[in-house]
Amino acid sequence: MNTHDIWQSVLAEFELSPDISKANYNTWIKNTAIMEYNDNEVIICVPSTFVQAWLEKKYHTKIVNILERVTGKPIKKLTYKVGNLKNILPQDSQNTPILDSIEIKPQPPIKQFSVPCAGGVDKFGLNSKYVFGRYVVGSGSELAFAASQAVVNKPGEAYNPLFIYGGVGLGKTHLLQAIGNELLKKNPSLRIMYASAERFSNDFILSVKEGNAKTFQSQYRNVDLLLIDDIQFISGKDRTQESFFHTFNELHQQNKQVVMTSDRPPKAIPALEDRLKSRFEWGMIVDISPPDLETRIAVLQKKCAEMNFPLNPDIFPTIATTVHKNIRELEGALNKIIAFHQLKNIAPTTESVKSLLSSMEVHTRQKSTTPQGILDAICQFYEVPLQDILGSSREKRFSMPRQIVMHLMRKELNMSFPAIGNEMGGRDHTTAMHADHKIQNQIDNDPKLRQEVELIKQKLYVNNI
């Protein structure tokens, strides 16, 4: 067994390992190889110093264990070295481009690169660029991705309805439209309706004004697949909710698939009728959480490959650690970086990218908010009156939001505990301290609460952007 075969066995074990996500594998493990193997001492070729540091910190012991298992020999020493993977891999293994795996030397001024078309919109309103193959799956989106694929495999059976929720720019619309595109590919005669909840509401209102109820009903009910984006928009719209209730019932009774997206789970949508909340929970509810570092790097790598734009691997972490709220802002930052360097006709460097990021409003500086802004956001999210937040009731539906308010005042505004106590109706500083510590502990251990707090924070700053 030569060194290439040995490392392929190591890669296979990593790829099949249940505790390593696909994004982690693609980012840290995939683009590596054995550079030297002598006297049970191994040197691993890595694409960048960042990957080297990460492997040393996170996966060193696992790599040693797998190597010893594959070779049947003890590994005395394992080190990592940044190098050119093309010079190591056998020729027949280099057929697939490994843009993100090679060490890029200082380059002359760059040429203009062709950018693939963004994708066309078909008669159903589906954008052809939204397919599963272009979706980067991370630890925060694995379940949503798997559920979406299950719907494509068994529409109307697997999960009906499928309800996908999460913050802005995390890929909900991508998955929603990918379901439509994949099903249409399997069955071109399928009847699909894709619309935002706002459009559904506007179409309904127009049908009432013009007396075209039957046309409206036919448009949304005579379909095999109904895809509704941002369903939270129908909140507080009684007649629209009534119409959607009957639309949903008719489709569900006929085993027609319904998929919806929202910025929050059904029970957290204010002014949404209970009968709709219960129906939205009939099938599968999945969330998409903000991407972790590995996923953000994987997104950047994939985007650069799609745009045929070579970027030094060391630059990816620079972007990914600066822009971390959502995928949309991440891709937006990358597009600006590419456009800037093409316009200047210069090759990107870590220094030029850092300078550009620091001047971008897109990066993750905290936007300004106020104690009252936090109170308003919590009251709206949990549908709790302000007087109950500031009151003394110990009921969980009041005490939990109250503690989250104090936690956010501490974390987002860096307020002192006495100041927080004053804002909360003259409470003692120890109460604020207890609330902050309690919520932080629960966030660390409860994914559901962590998701809720992230959603609140996104809502908190959205009007200040």
pLDDT digits (tens, 9 = 90+) for 405-430: 999 999 888 888 888 998 898 898 98
pLDDT in tens, 105-154: 333 333 333 333 344 555 677 888 899 999 999 888 999 999 999 999 99
CA dist 267 and 382 (Å) reads 9
Instruction: Give the pLDDT of residue 368.
Output: 64
- Closest to 177 measured CA to CA, from 245, 213, 130: 130
State yes or no: 431 annotated in a binding site.
no
Strand-pair partners of 127: 121
Instruction: Give the pLDDT of residue 179.
Output: 96
Q: Report residue 434 as tokens.
A: 């207890």
CA dist 358 and 369 (Å) reads 21
Q: Are 397 and 382 in contact (CB under 8 A)?
A: yes
Q: Report residue 406 as tokens.
A: 């104090």
Q: How many residues does the chain have?
A: 465
DSSP tag of 160:
S
Q: Which CATH number fits domain 135-288: 4.10.410.60, 3.40.50.300, 3.90.1150.10, 3.40.190.10?
A: 3.40.50.300
Q: What is the CATH number of domain 3-101?
A: 3.30.300.180
Stated as kind and residue range, the H or E segment containing 461 is helix 447-462
Instruction: Give the pLDDT of residue 465.
Output: 39
Sites in the chain below the pLDDT cut of 50? 91-119, 362-366, 463-465
State yes or no: 171 annotated in a binding site.
yes
For residue 201, give Cα distances in angstroms to 16, 84, 330.
46, 56, 31
Pairing of the two strands 41-46 and 77-82: parallel
Q: Any idea where the domains of the chain sit in the sequence? A: 3-101, 135-288, 371-462
Instruction: Give the pLDDT of residue 123.
Output: 65
Taking the CA atoms of the chain, what radius of gyration do you get in angstroms? 26
Q: Alpha helices, DSSP H only, in 307-370?
A: 315-322, 327-344, 350-359
Q: Are 198 and 235 in contact (CB under 8 A)?
A: no
Q: Is there a shared CATH topology between the 3-101 domain and the 371-462 domain?
A: no
Tell me, rounded to whole angstroms, the distance of Cα 408 from its chain centroid. Answer: 23
Q: Are 429 and 420 in contact (CB under 8 A)?
A: yes
Q: Report residue 420 as tokens.
A: 């927080």
Instruction: Give the pLDDT of residue 378.
Output: 92
Q: Please, what is the Cα angle at 291 between 300 and 272, to 5 degrees?
A: 130
Helix axes 293-306, 315-322, angle to 10 degrees: 120
CA dist 442 and 449 (Å) reads 7
CA dist 275 and 321 (Å) reads 43
Other residues' Cβ atoms within 10 Å of the Cβ of residue 280? 23
Pairing of the two strands 41-46 and 33-38: antiparallel
- Closest to 35 measured CA to CA, from 71, 66, 74, 78: 78
Predicted structure pTM score: 0.59
Pairing of the two strands 77-82 and 192-196: unpaired
Tell me, rounded to whole angstroms, the distance of Cα 388 from its chain centroid. Answer: 34
State yes or no: 169 annotated in a binding site.
yes
State yes or no: 283 annotated in a binding site.
no
Instruction: Give the pLDDT of residue 147.
Output: 92
E strands within 161-218? 162-166, 192-196
Amino acid at 416: S
Q: What is the CATH number of domain 371-462?
A: 1.10.1750.10
Burial state string for 38-76 with b = 16 or more CB within 10 A and e = fewer than 16:
eeeebbbbbbbebbbebbeeebeebbbebbeebbeeebe
